[in-house]
Structures are given as C-alpha cells and as structure tokens.
Amino acid sequence: MAIDYVDYGTAGSYGPGGFMALLAGMLLVMLLVGLIVYVYTSIALMTIAKRTKTENSWLAWIPIANIYLMTQIAGVPGWWTLSILLFIIPFIGPIAFAVIFCYLWWKIAEARKMPGWLGALMWIPLVNLIIMGVLAWSDK
C-alpha cells in the first residue's frame, strides 16, 4: 500500500508570486500615503497663499508651480523657482536647494506674522507637516 506524500510547503515558501504580491501591496500603501501627503500639503500651501493675499493660490496643486507660489508668498523674485535646477549638480546642488527651501519657508512664516525659525523646522520629517498646518490654519 503506497502512501501519497503531499508537500504543503512552509509559511515562507510561496515563491516569487507571493513576493511580488507583497511588493505590490507595499507599493500601493506608499502611493496612498504619498497621495494623502500631496493633497494635505497642497491644501495647506493654498490656504497660506489665500491668508497672505497672494494671487493664484491654485498653483499649490501643480508641481514646480507650487515652488513659484512659495516664492511669491515669501516675497522673493519668481526666478528663484529655477533653484530646482540645482538638483542637476551632484552633491552640492541638493544641499543648496535645501538651504533655499528652508529660507523660503522662513520668509513664508514671517509673511504669516510668525517666528521665522518655524521655517527651519521644515527640515524635520513629519514635523514639517505639522508646521505647514500651523502656518496655514493658525489665527495669527
């Protein structure tokens, strides 16, 4: 009498299909979180623009145009938007852009009649989302 042996595998032996499903699920979660953050930051920047009486607040929804909107809120020339091209320069470019980005948020905080050092906190992940909310919806 022969006994048939069936290998049901182990918990980690689902093969490449299971791994791809895991990656697809992780990608979906990251895209959803990215979309939520994008919508939140666009609404916050649009609100800041309206409260500072800056024209074309709808530019907050358009990538790169939202940097132009930030220059207008901060009261610096619009050509500062070209600072995004600094990313082309290796190593120094992203650092220079980060400094300019921090300066823009410093000036935006001052435009909202708040301490400029709040703009320096935009460097800190997750804290920057809170600071954007404070700048957008506080009563000052």
Tally the domains of the chain: 1
Q: Measure the CA–CA gap between 74 and 111, rounded to whole angstroms.
A: 7
Please indicate, yes or no, if residue 5 is contained in any of the structural domains.
no
Assigned domain for 125 exists: yes
pLDDT in tens, 113-134: 999 999 889 989 999 999 999 9
CA distance 127 to 8: 48
Domain assignment of residue 1, yes or no: no
Give CA separation, 51 vs 82, 136, 139, in Å: 25, 8, 10
- Asked, for residue 28, whether it belongs to a domain, the answer is no
The values of phi and psi at residue 52, to 5°, are: -95, 5
10-residue averages of pLDDT along the chain (140 residues): 67 71 94 98 96 95 94 90 81 86 94 92 92 90
What's residue 52's pLDDT? Answer: 94
Tell me which residue range forms the domain holding 87: 38-137
Q: Is residue 15 in some structural domain?
A: no
What lies within 8 Å, CB to CB, of 68 at 6+ separation is: 59, 78, 81
Copy the structure tokens of residue 95. Answer: 């650092």
Helices (H) and strands (E) in the chain, counts: 5, 0
* pLDDT reported for residue 12: 58
Q: In whole angstroms, how far apart are CA 81 and each of 4, 18, 54?
A: 71, 44, 16
User: Residue 107: inside a domain, yes or no?
Assistant: yes
The pTM assigned to this predicted structure is: 0.81
Rounded to whole angstroms, the Cα distance separating 76 from 104 reads 8
Query: Is 95 within the bounds of a domain?
Result: yes
What pLDDT, on a 0 to 100 scale, did the predictor assign at position 33?
Answer: 98
